[in-house]
Amino acid sequence: MIRFFKLFQIAISIGMKITTVIYKMGISIYTKLPAKYIICKLLKLSKIPIGLVYKDLKFNSTFKVKVRDNVSFKMVSYGGRIENEIFWNGLFNSFENETGWIWKILAKESEVIFDIGANTGIYSLTAKALNSKAKVVAFEPSTNTFNKLVKNNDINNYDIVCAPIKVVILFFTIVIILIKQVLHYLLR
Is 129 among the domain residues? yes
The number of distinct structural domains making up the chain is: 1
Domain assignment present for 100? yes
Asked, for residue 96, whether it belongs to a domain, the answer is yes
> Residue 29 above 60 pLDDT?
yes
Specify the CATH number for the domain of residue 174: 3.40.50
Region 34-57 average pLDDT: 84
| One-letter-per-residue 3-state SS of 63-119 | EEEEEECCEEEEEEEECCHHHHHHHHHCCCCCCCHHHHHHHHHHHHHCCEEEEECCC
Mean pLDDT value across residues 54-60: 89
Whole-number Å distance between alpha carbons of 50 and 88 = 10
Cβ-in-10-Å burial (0-12, 13-18, 19+) of 22 comes to exposed
Q: What is the number of alpha carbons within 13 Å of residue 103 lying toward its C-beta?
A: 20
Using the predicted structure, report yes or no on whether residue 128 has a pLDDT greater than 90.
Answer: yes
CB 151 within 8 A of CB 76: yes
**CA triplet 92, 97, 101: central angle to 5 degrees?**
80
Assigned domain for 70 exists:
yes
Average pLDDT over residues 141-169: 90
Per-residue pLDDT at 83 exceeds 90: yes
Report the pLDDT value the prediction gives residue 8, as an integer from 0 to 100.
57
Is there a domain that residue 16 lies in? no
Q: How far is CA 173 from CA 39, 138, 166, in A?
A: 49, 19, 11
Residue 11 lies inside a defined structural domain of this protein: no
pTM metric for this prediction: 0.76
Q: How confident is the model at residue 153 (pLDDT cuts 50, 70, 90)?
A: very high
Are 59 and 37 within 8 A, CB to CB?
yes
Q: Output DSSP code: residue 133.
A: T
State whether residue 161 is helix, strand or coil. strand
Range of the domain at 57: 33-186
- Could you tell me the pLDDT band of residue 22, with boundaries at 50, 70 and 90? confident
| 93 belongs to a structural domain | yes
* Residue bearing the bigger pLDDT, 118 or 166: 118
Query: Is 20 a member of any domain?
Result: no
Whole-angstrom CA distances from 13 to 5, 10, 109 are 12, 5, 56
The strand pairing partners of 85, in sequence order, are none
